[in-house]
Structure 1
């Protein structure tokens, strides 16, 4: 689950966001992820990624068997949409390649969040700066840890302590797992 990248209180309409999702599907990174999902036997169909209005302060999420949603009201520009699509597609890829991924398991959830944070560019220096986090060294891992904790503690099966323990237990393996990329983009 991605937390809110947009700063606009009203955000985009569902129609505007859906148009931006279509544009996002033509970007190189999204095309790469879609190709690897297809190669893994998990091709996604039309309507798998959809825009909705959300009451929660999140920008999107992935639900196995249902697809990806983007919260139009928490998006403000194409870059927001691209970022959330990439983040969520990494979760889809993880779900596809791991036959026993259990989203109720705090370690499984934390691992996918670590990978999505690291591989999607969620924690790029520019994004962190725009969020008001100013740190020269170590910003990426701090950002990923902060965002993993935010997401995993929203999991009804994971207390804050369980989320922290799970994140720490899987950090090295999951941070260094760059599949389907050769290295972190």
Structure 2
């Protein structure tokens, strides 16, 4: 399972219905279309029912679960861009799951690798997004962003530290 702990966007909340509408809009964005097309080319096409809006107990934005699809936490979404970002990030996990031989989400190193890829390729660690989170350091923001995703992997807190 590749849930996205990280910082759940804002403190706002959408209903499941509102989030479903936002997911449908997200599926038309260039980034999401590109990712879905490449999943299709890789033999791992995803239909619209692959994406689900749900209410989440944990403070997470969403997650990818092998065999179930992508869940977007409606109660942690504020704006359309939040939904777009979650879907792009989770589609990268879906791609990794499709393409990586022997990927084991329970293996902290495997999961961390996918988090780094998803953080960078989805734009989660882009300088603009970091500024919006209040992180204004000019250098090193990508490393800090990647580390924050990795540190949030459930059960991997100690095994991913240097020397562990």
Normalised by the length of structure 2, the TM-score is 0.92
Quick check: 1:6–1:74 contact (8 Å CA) kept in 2?
yes
Instruction: Return 5+ residue gaps in structure 2 as ranges.
Output: none
Q: Provide Cα deviations, 1:97-144, integer angstroms capped at 9, x if missing partner.
A: 013100011111000001001111101222212222120111112111
Contact 2:104 2:110 in 1 (8 A): yes
Could you report, residue by residue, the CA deviation over 1:2-61 in whole angstroms, capped at 9, with x for unpaired residues? 23342124x111111110111111111111110110011101123111100001000000
The number of aligned residues is: 161
Most deviating of 126-135 and 47-56: 126-135
| Alignment correspondent of 1:28 | 30
Matching of residue 136 in structure 1 with residue 138 in structure 2:
yes
Whether 1:162 and 2:159 are equivalent positions in the alignment is yes
- CA distance in 1: counterparts of 2:123 and 2:52, whole angstroms: 21
Report matched runs for 1:140-151 at 5 Å.
140-150=142-152
Q: Residue 13 of structure 1 corresponds to which residue in structure 2?
A: 15
Give yes or no for contact 2:8–2:59 (8 Å, CA) kept in 1.
no
